[in-house]
Chains A and B, each alone.
Chain A
Amino acid sequence: MELLTEQKLILLEENANKIRSLIIEMLLEAGSGHSAGSLGMADIFSAFYFHVLNHDPKNPNRPDRDRLILSNGHICPVRYAAMALSGYFPINELKTLRKINSRLQGHPHRTALPGVETTSGPLGEGLSQAIGMALAAKLDDKKYRIYCVTSDGEHEEGNTWEAIMFAGKLKINNLTVIIDRNNIQIDGFTEDVMPLEPLKRKYESFNWQVLEIDGNNIEMFIEAINEALAITQGPTVIIANTIPGKGVDFMEKDYHWHGIPPNQEQAKKALAELRTLQGKIESEHQ
């Protein structure tokens, strides 16, 4: 991974903001989909696609690529937007999301779109698949890294804990897990629906290394990713505290935006806000 310069950081923040605008546009066009989680993870996906991942958008099946597994498939708009922006496919294609004959399925499908590593949507299954890829890399003596993005809500699935137990047992150290800790799920706040805390202590007791960061701070995220790369005694999880709906004032921290798209008027308002934010990023770094 290259060094993170001030200039690169500005680019990553700007790209995160562009990703947010693309998410709003594609969800408006699709007429359904998940707004809050997608917007909340724009910073992390910008960091992944434009800094962290060893990948080649023009050669998505390159064997030595890093694997980015999106376990909580419902926030795929953020992944699709980041992929399009980094050159996997034309930005125009984002408008086909959730439509007939599209490669951009409502929940991502591996064989439909090159660069999507797993088929996901049903929760709690991504971490196990990431572990399988990590084991394959070890058997083949390959150096690529496995990153797995999970949601906080899917930590209510038994399968997630089966996988956490397994990775702790085998001390899988070529795997970094990121939890989108945005505290919301469909039926409400996670701590009301099914308390997850103390999440950090739970992971620690399963023999994982735990880092906790502000998931909307790109600099902090990249620092944590680098720190995780240096940890070899076992698997590492980064608990990324994010703001659901981040960047769009009327969506932020409101769980009602978990699974719905904006209407025409709301999209207009959101895009205007994101344009203002773009100016702010530029002026803040001057």
Chain B
Amino acid sequence: MLNPDLKLNPKIFDIDAEKKPTRDGYGEGLVFLGGKNPDVVVLTADLSESTRCEEFQKRFPRRFFECGVAEQNMAAIAAGLGVSGKIAFISSYAAFSPGKNWETIRTTIVYNNSNVKIAGHHTGIMTGPDGATHQATEDLAITRCWPNITVLVPCDSLEARKSTIKSADVQGPVYLRFTRDKSPVITTEETPFEIGKIQRFWISDKPDAAILATGYMLYYAIVAAFELEKIGIKSIVANVSTLKPLDKDTLISLGKEARALVTVEDHQTTGGLGGAAAEFYARNLPLPMEFVGLKDTFAESGSPSELIEKYGMGTKDIKEAVKKVISRKYPRS
């Protein structure tokens, strides 16, 4: 069942459940921060509207910088602002930032420990019709490998707003991952959010498996758990909204309870959540694992739902992965 302690959206399984893109939450978070803290500045590289900076730009024009199509310049200008007392948010598509400007961010923001928040938009195959050039599916791999960075992947627009606002409290670089299309609002205003905390959104007694999900894919994981319960398979679904630093205590307790684990993400299964979980459990608590995500391939143009189906990342695939991991848990039976 849905974890009652988290005050999640009770209408989550309704056909008319509210849907909103996580990028909207980013835009709302920026406006909130802009009003609260005069040191917050926002930069974009010709993507003000689609990365949802427009409202900030309207309200705080002096603190908004349009850099044109120049992601390296945007990142390094932000680095200069970030070491001069400002909290600088840079907004672009993740394929270009931190994709194209990776080394610039590495040197001038991350190693330099500048107070910059990197907002990567249009991530995952959910970006849809734009095609694989614009679907960032490696951004988690190339950011979480950096020392000294926090990586946040909000699961819905509300958590996106909370993540954006909380990221300003982190003294140093943060990567924030957002998506383009609408996705169900899983949480409510009352749902607690803390950077570095993995939360159990779906709970069961004596679970057969645990599902770790990140970003909007958490919704698919919860639906999978709901349907699995109907056929007698019990699971826990945990929301990994902070990919780095990992919540080690929760990962250990999840592993000990379930002894079998599936990761779910709209990202390559190498290097992202799947990679992070595999590294963690290999070191601390070896257990059978299955990985749902993009499997060593680029995707293509199409609607998000078509792509999810074609690339094996939907509810059906999660359910199969859970069954498979449970079968591996008891190899002799």
Are B112 and A162 in touch, CB under 8 angstroms?
no
Are A125 and B85 in touch, CB under 8 angstroms?
no
Q: Which residue of A lies closest to B80 (CB)?
A: A132
Q: What is the bound-complex CA distance between A56 and B63, given in angstroms?
A: 30
Also in contact, A130 and B80, with CB within 8 A (given A119-B108, A139-B41)? yes
Are B70 and A165 in touch, CB under 8 angstroms?
yes
Also in contact, A125 and B81, with CB within 8 A (given A165-B68, A166-B68)? no
Report chain A residues within 8 Å CB of B80: 118, 128-136
Are B72 and A133 in touch, CB under 8 angstroms?
no
- B308 → chain A closest CB, angstroms: 36
Are A125 and B41 in touch, CB under 8 angstroms?
no
Report chain B residues within 8 Å CB of A139: 41, 62-63, 86
A143 at the interface (CB under 8 A from B): no
- A135 → chain B closest CB, angstroms: 6
Report chain A residues within 8 Å CB of B103: 122
Q: Which residue of A lies closest to B78 (CB)?
A: A132
- A124 → chain B closest CB, angstroms: 8
A110 at the interface (CB under 8 A from B): yes
Are A135 and B65 in touch, CB under 8 angstroms?
yes
A103 at the interface (CB under 8 A from B): no
Are A162 and B79 in touch, CB under 8 angstroms?
no
Interface string of A123-163 (1 = CB under 8 A from B): 01100111111111101100000000000000000110011
Interface size class of B (residues with CB under 8 A): 20 to 34
Q: Which of A117, A128, A136 contacts B72 (CB 8 A)?
A: A128
Q: Which residue of B lies closest to A160 (CB)?
A: B73
Q: What is the bound-complex CA distance between A135 and B79, given in angstroms?
A: 11
- A192 → chain B closest CB, angstroms: 26
A111 at the interface (CB under 8 A from B): yes
Q: Which of A119, A133, A165 contacts B84 (CB 8 A)?
A: A133
Q: Which residue of A lies closest to B38 (CB)?
A: A139
How many of A's residues come within 8 Å of B, CB to CB? 29
B9 at the interface (CB under 8 A from A): no
- A140 → chain B closest CB, angstroms: 7
Q: Which residue of B lies closest to A159 (CB)?
A: B72
Q: Which residue of B lies closest to A136 (CB)?
A: B84
Also in contact, A166 and B73, with CB within 8 A (given A122-B107, A129-B108)? yes
Q: Which of B72, B84, B88, B112 contacts A111 (CB 8 A)?
A: B112
Report chain A residues within 8 Å CB of B77: 128-129, 131-132, 135, 163, 166
Are B83 and A159 in touch, CB under 8 angstroms?
no
Q: What is the bound-complex CA distance between A107 and B86, given in angstroms?
A: 25
- B37 → chain A closest CB, angstroms: 13
Report chain B residues within 8 Å CB of A119: 107-108, 111-112
Report chain A residues within 8 Å CB of B72: 124-125, 128, 158-159, 162
Interface string of B182-205 (1 = CB under 8 A from A): 000000000000000000000000
Q: Which residue of A lies closest to B104 (CB)?
A: A125
Q: What is the bound-complex CA distance between A267 and B68, given in angstroms?
A: 48
Q: What is the bound-complex CA distance between A135 and B113, given in angstroms?
A: 19
- B150 → chain A closest CB, angstroms: 17
Report chain B residues within 8 Å CB of A111: 112-113
A114 at the interface (CB under 8 A from B): no
A109 at the interface (CB under 8 A from B): yes
A259 at the interface (CB under 8 A from B): no
Q: Which residue of A lies closest to B75 (CB)?
A: A128
Q: In the complex, which of the residues B78, B79, B84, B113 has the most CB atoms of chain A within 10 Å of its own CB atom?
A: B84
B82 at the interface (CB under 8 A from A): yes
Are A166 and B67 in touch, CB under 8 angstroms?
yes
Report chain A residues within 8 Å CB of B84: 132-133, 136-137, 140
Are B112 and A159 in touch, CB under 8 angstroms?
no
A121 at the interface (CB under 8 A from B): yes
Chain B interface residues toward A at CB < 8 A: 41, 62-63, 65, 67-68, 70, 72-73, 75-86, 88, 103-104, 107-108, 111-113
Can you name 8 A-B pairs with beta carbons within 8 Å? A110-B112, A117-B83, A124-B72, A125-B76, A129-B77, A132-B82, A159-B104, A162-B73
Chain A interface residues toward B at CB < 8 A: 109-111, 117-122, 124-125, 128-137, 139-140, 158-159, 162-163, 165-166
Task: Beyond the given A136-B81, A159-B76, please list 11 additional residue pairs across the A-B interface where CB-CB is below 8 A.
Answer: A125-B108, A128-B73, A128-B76, A128-B80, A129-B76, A129-B108, A132-B84, A133-B80, A133-B81, A136-B80, A166-B68
